[in-house]
């Protein structure tokens, strides 16, 4: 799919040691599960033609080509993941959903896509 591999705006994630970002996330979100990911895309989801946006601010999701570590072992290392909508993004390298904090390793991309595209994503 051209969306996954096409151009986007380069965004810097965490470039330090993975243990350091895990520690920061655990301090900021005590007890909340985390998922380290690489090769990620931050997606601003927009309404499809004729639909109303689900919120005043476009919902954001992360699509990651590679899970590095999932603290709850829901995703195997090397697997892909598409998150639910963000509830916060306190730092460029952290993306919080209701149930998980996704830790964005290395550089990724920011793109815009319709909700149809977002929900159809898989590698």
Nearest to 91 by CA among 36, 32, 28, 18: 28
Q: What is the pLDDT of residue 113?
A: 85
Distance CA 79, CA 88 (A): 24
pLDDT digits (tens, 9 = 90+) for 34-47: 999 999 999 988 86
Query: In this structure, is residue 115 part of a structural domain?
Result: yes
> In the structure encoding, which two tokens stand for residue 77, read together?
């290392």
Query: In this structure, is residue 1 part of a structural domain?
Result: no
> In the structure encoding, which two tokens stand for residue 12, read together?
């810097």
Measure the CA angle with vertex 17, ends 13 and 123; round to 5°: 50
Q: What is the pLDDT of residue 13?
A: 95
Q: What is the pLDDT of residue 25?
A: 96
Q: What's the pTM?
A: 0.86
Read off the DSSP letter of residue 47. P
Distance CA 100, CA 42 (A): 16
List the domain range (segments joined by +) for residue 21: 8-120
Low-confidence ranges of the chain (pLDDT < 50): 56-57
Q: What is the pLDDT of residue 4?
A: 66
Query: In this structure, is residue 3 part of a structural domain?
Result: no
Contact yes or no for 80/64 (Cβ under 8 A): yes
Q: What is the pLDDT of residue 81?
A: 95
Question: How many domains are contained in the chain?
Answer: 1
Distance CA 39, CA 65 (A): 5
């Amino acid at each position: 799919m051209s969306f996954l591999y096409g151009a986007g705006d380069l965004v810097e994630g965490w470039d330090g040691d993975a243990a350091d970002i895990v520690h920061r996330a655990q301090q900021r979100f005590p007890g909340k599960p985390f998922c380290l990911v690489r090769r990620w895309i931050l997606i601003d989801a927009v309404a499809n033609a004729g639909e109303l946006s689900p919120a005043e601010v476009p919902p954001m999701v992360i699509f990651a080509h590679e899970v590095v570590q999932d603290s709850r072992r829901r995703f195997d290392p090397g697997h892909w993941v598409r998150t639910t909508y963000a509830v916060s993004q306190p730092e460029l390298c952290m993306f919080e959903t209701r149930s998980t904090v996704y830790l964005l390793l290395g550089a990724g991309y920011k793109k815009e896509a319709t909700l149809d595209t977002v929900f159809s994503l898989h590698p």
